[in-house]
A and B are shown apart, each in its own frame.
Chain A
Amino acid sequence: TAGITQAPTSQILAAGRSMTLRCTQDMRHNAMYWYRQDLGLGLRLIHYSNTAGTTGKGEVPDGYSVSRANTDDFPLTLASAVPSQTSVYFCASSDGRTSTDTQYFGPGTRLTVL
């Protein structure tokens, strides 16, 4: 089983350009999450989805949007990238049947905005 895959692995993006980070899971998990991880800071939640068709804002949602058209995919879009969005982005999923399910993480996307 692949678990969670993310694409691309890394990307250099010019400021002002848009980009979509892809995330796919094959565990049939209900809940999915996007985090960013910056040096010296804990993982910060950007957006989440408790089930297909629903999304919610996390701690740092500004400048990002998500969609959840089906169970498996949860893309994250940066409409107009800024240098402060340089970070490592992790997608995660959990079963979602109980409120304290373990989250499983994808390998991450390293994004540099210049």
Chain B
Amino acid sequence: GQNIDQPTEMTATEGAIVQINCTYQTSGFNGLFWYQQHAGEAPTFLSYNVLDGLEEKGRFSSFLSRSKGYSYLLLKELQMKDSASYLCAVSDSNYQLIWGAGTKLIIKP
């Protein structure tokens, strides 16, 4: 079966750095997405990785290792507005997105 694993919840302090991990087992791989979802709102796109390595975009970076079936999202200089759920999704062999359950990130002052 296809499976995406992420921690259910994480807590971090304002101004700090946090890394959210995602491991996946899918039938095929056509890229990995990270989305942010604030409570009661729609998911919004953060990043896309299809090749191994680190993609940096401002305070957010995303890393991919295809051989390990592993990705992480790195958030730097955390702000209170970063409190949200972070969703990992993999595009499988049929180009359908398989979604993880999401990681709820709580930022404390």
Decide yes or no: A43 and B87 within 8 Å by CB, A99-B30, A100-B50 being known contacts.
Answer: yes
Which residues 79-114 of A have a CB within 8 angstroms of B? 90, 99-100, 102-108
Cross-chain contact of B42 among A48, A59, A102, A106 (Cβ < 8 A): A106
> In whole Å, how far is A8's beta carbon from the nearest beta carbon of chain B?
15
> In whole Å, how far is B48's beta carbon from the nearest beta carbon of chain A?
7
User: Could you tell me if A99 and B42 are in contact, using CB atoms closer than 8 angstroms?
Assistant: no
Mask of A2-26 contacts with B, CB within 8 angstroms, 1/0: 0000000000000000000000000
Mask of B77-92 contacts with A, CB within 8 angstroms, 1/0: 0000000000101010
User: Could you tell me if A107 and B102 are in contact, using CB atoms closer than 8 angstroms?
Assistant: no
Which residues 1-34 of B have a CB within 8 angstroms of A? 4, 30-31, 33
Cross-chain contact of A42 among B45, B50, B95, B102 (Cβ < 8 A): B102
A-side interface residues, number (CB < 8 Å): 19
Q: Tell whether A44 is near chain B: CB-to-CB under 8 Å.
A: yes
User: Could you tell me if B43 and A90 are in contact, using CB atoms closer than 8 angstroms?
Assistant: yes
User: Could you tell me if A100 and B95 are in contact, using CB atoms closer than 8 angstroms?
Assistant: yes
User: Could you tell me if A107 and B95 are in contact, using CB atoms closer than 8 angstroms?
Assistant: no
Cross-chain contact of B96 among A45, A102, A108 (Cβ < 8 A): A45
User: Could you tell me if A45 and B97 are in contact, using CB atoms closer than 8 angstroms?
Assistant: yes
Q: Tell whether A63 is near chain B: CB-to-CB under 8 Å.
A: no
Residue from A42, A48, A102, A103 with most neighbouring chain B CB atoms (10 Å):
A42
> In whole Å, how far is B85's beta carbon from the nearest beta carbon of chain A?
10
Specify which chain A residues have a CB less than 8 angstroms from the CB of B99 in the assembled complex.
42-44
Give me the interface of B with A, judged by CB distance under 8 Å: 4, 30-31, 33, 41-45, 48, 50, 87, 89, 91, 95-102
